[in-house]
Amino acid sequence: MYLCTMNKIKKLRWSIEKGCELTEMDRIILAAQERGKEVPSRELIKTAEQIEGIRRAGVINTGILDMLTDKIHAGMSTIEIDDMVAKYTSDHGAISACLGYEGFPKSCCTSVNEVVCHGIPNEYEVLRNGDIINVDCTTILDGYFADASRMYIVGGKTTAKKQKLVDVAWECLKIGEEVCSKPYVYVGDIGNAIAKHAHKNGFSVVRDLAGHGVGLEFHEDPDVDHYGRKGTGMLLVPGMVFTIEPMINMGTWEVFCDEDDGWTIVTEDELPSAQWEHTFVMTEHGVEVLTH
């Protein structure tokens, strides 16, 4: 869950304390910095203890999305989904990061058909067979955040076009993960690969929203755009935790925000959109998924 309409202006730098011996990671980051590349600050590198805490939050976050698999059905309202998310979160000793975040009123986002993201659960929106819905939730456990979303097809079957959209959105997430199969890639490498796959299949990639760093806060650096050029964006190094969450549209990539609630993001042409999301940690051997 992340609304981002422009890249952050601040530029982070990698610094070395006096007297410290350079590690291989230090050398790689400093060399990239010398070439004018965007690099992380030390604050973005999580410790082993912090990563384990995020992993535990991820277990609950995944449990929520798993639980919904057999619960979502035609005839139910989206507020019923929110009630189940809230109860599961509370029963497992966790907190919903969405609830109250900058005024967001519910425990998860429910985005149906042409809603790209940030849909607000309510009692009036009733699901029908063939609808596609994204449920996005972020879980806080012991101060650590994990964030993921998943697509569900109401009734198990939809149109061929919407099924392809859901499938390609999933493939885009997996392609982003594959790009990160080794450390020291750039955010732009992820976006470039995702956009190529979406466009090849006749779809577009939302540009006004992005993935993000996560773990100690809901939203951290870097912004993880799902389009871009190779070798641009921040260098991704071991210890960084971030989401990849491509939003893939059937028609135009352009979106608008519902003025009535200030949250719901809808495709400009009101054609369907699909999204999948995981939280990842970059390791010395590539990314590991923390929200399986």
Number of Cβ atoms within 10 Å of the Cβ of 69: 9
CA distance 161 to 274: 12
Residue 8 clears pLDDT 50, i.e. is over it? no
How many angstroms separate the Cα of 51 from the Cα of each of 139, 158, 221, 264?
A: 14, 38, 16, 31
CA distance 208 to 32: 27
Number of H helices, E strands in the chain: 5, 17
Determine the pLDDT at residue 146: 98
Record the pTM. 0.94
End-to-end Cα, the chain, rounded Å? 17
The pLDDT tens digits for 213-261 are 999 999 999 999 999 999 999 999 999 999 999 999 999 999 999 999 9
Cβ(259)–Cβ(158) below 8 Å:
no
Question: In the predicted model, is pLDDT for residue 139 greater than 80?
Answer: yes
Structure tokens at 223: 């912004």
Query: In the block, which residue shows the tokens 């959209």?
Result: 165
The CA-atom distances, in angstroms, between 218 and each of 54, 73, 193, 203, 208 are 11, 30, 26, 29, 18
Structure tokens at 271: 């054609």
- When pLDDT is averaged across residues 13-18 and rounded to a whole number, the result is 76
**Which domains does the chain possess?**
40-289 (3.90.230.10)
Q: Is the distance from CB of 38 to CB of 235 less than 8 angstroms?
A: yes
Helix 187-200 to helix 160-179 angle, to the nearest 10 degrees?
150
Average pLDDT over residues 48-69: 98
Examine the pLDDT at 154 and tell me if it is beyond 60.
yes
Least confident of 15-29, 102-116, 139-153: 15-29
pLDDT above 70: percentage of residues in the chain: 95
Contact by Cβ (8 Å): 114, 93:
no
According to the model, what pLDDT value does residue 292 have?
A: 84
User: Is the omega angle on the peptide bond into residue 246 within 30 degrees of 0, that is, cis?
Assistant: no
Predicted local confidence at residue 3, as pLDDT: 46
Share of the chain above pLDDT 90, in %: 92
Q: To which residue do tokens 């939050």 refer?
A: 57
In this predicted structure, what is the pLDDT of residue 1? 52
**How far is it between the farthest Cα atoms of the chain?**
65
